[in-house]
Amino acid sequence: MRGRTLFAGPRPGLLERPLTLLLLAAGTAIWLLLQPETLQALPLAWRLPLVGIGAWALGSAFARPLTLEVGEGWLWRQAGARWSRLALWGFALVVGGLGVWG
Q: Which residues contact 60 (CB under 8 A, 6 or more apart)?
A: 78, 79, 81, 84, 87, 88
φ, ψ at 10 (rounded to 5°): -75, 70
pTM of the model: 0.76
Query: For 44-99, how does the pLDDT look when each residue is reduced to its tens digit (9 = 90+)?
Result: 999 999 999 999 999 888 888 777 777 777 777 777 778 888 999 999 999 999 98
DSSP structure class, residue 80: T
Provide the CA 74 distance to its chain's centre, in angstroms. 17
- Contact between 88 and 58 under an 8 Å Cβ cutoff? The reply is yes
